[in-house]
Amino acid sequence: MARKLPDRVAVYPGSFDPITNGHLDLIQRGSRLFDRLIVSILRNERKEPLFTVEERMDMLREVVHVYPNVEVDSFDGLLVEHAAAHSATALVRGIRAISDYEYELQMALMNRRLRPDIETVFMMANEAYSFISSRLVKEVFSLGGNISGLVPPSVEARMRSRFKSRSRGA
């Protein structure tokens, strides 16, 4: 009788403020590589995000529900401890440019030192999304630029609503 291999579980961490089509591309591709992919939002109180962690989790759930093996979660503290708590053996990280690689390499080596049993898997960004970052999307949108095609339509609608409420409050 054949032995069942353990599930291949990976964590894809990030701020996802907001989720972009580049993130979605990695989620879709990562969902094919792993039995379970846990998209985890880092709770970082030092940053001033556009959306709360709960709002970002809702947005993620809206767009990843089509992938039955993708879950949405959040964490604070060490990423590798969060991954270990979910029995993950891999961390998924997207690389857009050489500058991303330098930072991600440092993080991967530190994570390996902390938890040698958890591998970091680098995935190259699809060239169509290689210039997109959440920070850039927010900046362009706040200045009146068109972000259609850079974020899911439901995220763009939430951004429109958020920026309208901010401008009314100012």
Q: What is the pLDDT of residues 27-61, one digit of tens each?
A: 999 999 999 999 999 998 787 899 999 999 999 99
Residue, of 167 and 73, whose pLDDT is higher: 73
- In this prediction, what percent of the chain has a pLDDT beyond 90? 82
Residues identified as active-site: 23, 47, 96, 134
Task: State how far the Cα of 157 lies from the Cα of 113, in Å rounded to an integer.
Answer: 42
pLDDT of residue 123: 96
Q: At what angle do helices 21-33 and 53-64 cross, to 10 degrees?
A: 60
Task: State how far the Cα of 131 lies from the Cα of 34, in Å rounded to an integer.
Answer: 26
pLDDT at 154 over 80: yes
pLDDT of residue 166: 64
- Where do the structural domains in the chain lie, given as residue ranges? 9-169
Kindly indicate whether the domain formed by 9-169 is annotated with CATH number 3.40.50.2000.
no
